[in-house]
Amino acid sequence: MAKRVFNFNPGPAALPLEVLKTIQEELLDYRGTGMSILESSHRGAEYEDINNQAMALARDLFGLGENYKVLFMTGGASTQFALVPMNFIGDGQVGAYVDTGAWSSKAIKEAEIEGKMHLAASSKSAKYAFIPKMSDIKVPGNAAYLHITTNNTIFGTQYQEFPNPGAVPLVADMSSDIASRRLDFTKFAFIYAGAQKNIGPAGVTLVLVRDDFLATGRGGLHTMFSYKTYADEKSLYNTPPCFAIYIMKLIFEWIKKQGGLAAVEKVNRAKKDTIYGMVDKHPEYFKGTVEKGSRSWMNLTFRLPSEELEKKFLSEAKASGFVGLKGHRSVGGIRVSLYNAVPLEGAQKLAEFMETFMKKNP
Ligand SMILES: Cc1ncc(COP(=O)(O)O)c(C=O)c1O
């Protein structure tokens, strides 16, 4: 039996053990084909089946009808930052953005390259410690869309309610909280997520796009930069990241088997309550870095009384089998990433470790 740690990496992140085992079992001989799915043609029946099933599972999981296309793309969420404004901002329009952290800022930078960015709200002046109030998000009438980052992986904040921009389509980067809780996904015209946190390995980016929004896409773009290509060709215009999509399909099945997003949400709630519970029990020692109403369930950030103690905490945690807890280099401190594949036991053991560490290092 392989020795496994409690993996709190911010992404790429923990994958479900059950899924890893299936991958291992199917690696050399995929379902009687005598070869690995890694070696199979993306035009073959086995891969076509994976592609179709992954799309159907995504629709099912997110409660989306046939009026949404499920696309599998490459280039990570960072490529989406560029493709969204490139495809969807038409003549005389702007892309409206809410700036809630490093990833929003990078998305904004790409819209600025298009020369058509409108800042709808920002929490930058407060070091991104909160999600702006919905009433503070101002969307101009000529906005092609309103872009939000539903979970801010680095700063540890997350939307608990969503803006309603009326007729303006809502676009969301859900890279770090997709499939972690129940949502009305039909509120969004366009959702994208790099898979490597909650739904798979690095290499595939999931896109969910509503047909009416897709239809507003600009023509005349290079083939691989146009969402229409992926929609028309079922993401098989060129060679897709087959293995990553296969793993994503296994993860969708794993979520479904547990009882879907309701079941996953229940466990995620218990996990975040366990860690925030410890932070709130000893607030003078574990200092939360964001406003309580904006706290992320996925990336929980806090500081210790000194940087020396933080270093000691990280090295002792690692020695005890808890890895990936270092805060992002731009903010420091501790960040506990509790994506779907992190078991409740991991959060419980970590909370015990936190309390013991605090008592030993007052
Ligand atoms: C919210 C968010 N958006 C975008 C990205 C960038 O994703 P990628 O590395 O897939 O381009 C990340 C990566 O951590 C992220 O957390």
In ligand 1, the atom with minimum distance to the C-alpha of 101 is 1
Quick one: pLDDT at residue 10?
97
Catalytic residue check, 197: yes
Quick one: pLDDT at residue 192?
99
Quick one: pLDDT at residue 330?
87
φ, ψ of residue 84 to 5 degrees: the values are: -60, -55
pLDDT tens-place string over residues 269-280:
999 999 999 999
- Please answer whether residues 204 and 241 qualify as being in contact, where contact means their C-beta atoms are separated by less than 8 angstroms: yes
Quick one: pLDDT at residue 1?
73
Instruction: State both tokens at 303.
Output: 């500081």
Task: Please give the Cα distance from 275 to 210 (Å, whole number).
Answer: 37
284 CA distance to ligand 1 middle (Å): 32
Closest CA to 145 of 185, 193, 89: 89
Task: Please give the Cα distance from 360 to 259 (Å, whole number).
Answer: 41
Closest CA to 199 of 4, 9, 15, 8: 15
Quick one: pLDDT at residue 115?
84
Catalytic residue check, 103: yes
- Please answer whether residues 333 and 304 qualify as being in contact, where contact means their C-beta atoms are separated by less than 8 angstroms: yes
| Segments of the chain scoring below 70 in pLDDT | none
Given 99, 103, 116, 272, the catalytic residue:
103
SS3 label, residue 105: helix
Task: Please give the Cα distance from 264 to 270 (Å, whole number).
Answer: 10
- DSSP per residue over 149-169, as a string? ESEETTTTEE-SS----TTSP
Closest CA to 37 of 53, 17, 23: 23
* 299 within ligand 1 shell (Cβ under 6 A): no
Closest CA to 352 of 265, 264, 281: 281
Task: Please give the Cα distance from 362 to 358 (Å, whole number).
Answer: 6
Residue with tokens 């930052």: 81
Given 69, 116, 197, 272, the catalytic residue:
197
* 110 within ligand 1 shell (Cβ under 6 A): no
Question: Ligand 1 test: best mutation among 81, 154, 175, most atoms within 8 Å of CB?
Answer: 175
Catalytic residue check, 173: yes
* 235 within ligand 1 shell (Cβ under 6 A): no
Residue with tokens 């990433």: 337
